[in-house]
């Protein structure tokens, strides 16, 4: 997708996350299943991850949108983003490491 703001174009990859049995969402940060390639600045400027929180949690009225600069997705070596509503994580991890990007539309 291409978005324009203040005369500047941004290339955006939109990904949706699927909920698993444990209540967290998993979203691939790679493309091309056979080669498992990381997204780079050559592909896009931002990746927006979407998690349907309001559909899966009765007490959630807002969904999760995470606006992540593409450079951040390759840090840490993981090919999967694990998302969950703040406070609904498991064990000692109650906040997703991606939470700082939630609803950060100003970033684009």
Q: What is the DSSP string of 35-104?
A: T-EEP-TTT-SEEEEEE-HHHH-TT--S-EEEEEEHHHHTTTS-SEEEE--TT--BTTB-S-TTGGGBT-
pLDDT digits (tens, 9 = 90+) for 6-49: 899 999 999 998 888 888 899 888 887 666 788 889 999 999 99
Across 34-38, 49-53, 72-76, which has the greatest mean pLDDT?
A: 49-53
Domain residue ranges in the chain? 2-107
pLDDT at 58: 87
Residue 34 has a pLDDT of: 65
Q: The pTM is what?
A: 0.86
Nearest Cα residue to 103 out of 52, 58, 48, 61: 48
Q: How far apart are CA 15 and CA 30, in angstroms?
A: 10
């Amino acid at each position: 997708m291409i978005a324009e703001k203040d005369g500047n174009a941004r290339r955006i990859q939109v990904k949706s996350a699927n909920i698993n049995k444990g209540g967290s969402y998993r979203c691939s940060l790679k493309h091309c299943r056979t080669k498992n390639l990381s997204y780079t600045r050559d592909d896009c400027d931002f990746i927006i991850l979407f998690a349907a929180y309001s559909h899966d949690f009765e007490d959630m009225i807002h969904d999760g949108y995470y606006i992540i600069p593409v450079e951040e997705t390759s840090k840490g070596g993981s090919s999967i983003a694990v998302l969950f509503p703040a406070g609904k994580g498991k064990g000692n991890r109650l906040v997703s490491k991606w939470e700082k990007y939630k609803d950060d539309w100003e970033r684009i």
